[in-house]
Copies of this chain bind each other. A is one copy, B any other.
Amino acid sequence: MKISTKGRYGLRALVDMAANAEGKPISLTSVAKRQNISLNYLEQVFGTLRKAGIVISTKGSSGGYLLKYEAKDISVRQILEALEGAFSIVDLNPMEMQDPLQQAIQTLLWDEIDEKVNTLLETRTLEQLVDEYKQTKDQGNQMFYI
């Protein structure tokens, strides 16, 4: 019941991208360096993000990736759904679904969890993460200027 590294790394890389954006495409090489993630692995992740319509790419020298929409219009749910599939706390096998007892558990537990989590993921945007990141980063740097 965990979010895998694919989702975590992808999300982190996107925040990094958005935080370091200046209009021009950002290379995965630079993201990989800053975030200490294998370039090869990041390429796979961004392939998925591109196919999901979250980023756009330009090939060739001085190419790279850009967000397809503004950070405030990209929800965390979109991102994680692209990388991990839609969130659902359980994955029932056919036999379980027929069980009448299962219905009770589904209603009181799984459905409620799914709803709460999905609502939160839907609410949180990439922009919020970027803002929070910049803020905490600045706090960290302040100590050098006191």
A residues engaging B (CB < 8 A)?
Answer: 1-5, 8, 11-12, 15-16, 19, 35-36, 76, 84, 87-93, 95-96, 99-105, 107-110, 112-113, 116-117, 120-121, 124, 128-129, 132-133, 135-137, 140
Contact = CB atoms under 8 A, between A and B. Distances in A.
- In this complex, which of A35, A113, A121, A140 has the most chain B Cβ atoms within 10 angstroms of its Cβ? A113
Number of copies: 2
B12 A99 contact: yes
Contact of A15 (B89, B101, B124): B101
A36 B102 CA distance: 12
A143 to B, nearest CB: 13
B109 A113 contact: no
B133 A100 contact: yes
Given A3-B110, A12-B99, 14 more contacts: A1-B4, A1-B89, A2-B90, A3-B89, A8-B105, A12-B96, A36-B99, A100-B136, A100-B140, A103-B133, A108-B129, A108-B132, A109-B121, A113-B117
B2 A101 contact: no
A118 to B, nearest CB: 10
A13 B98 CA distance: 15
B96 A124 contact: no
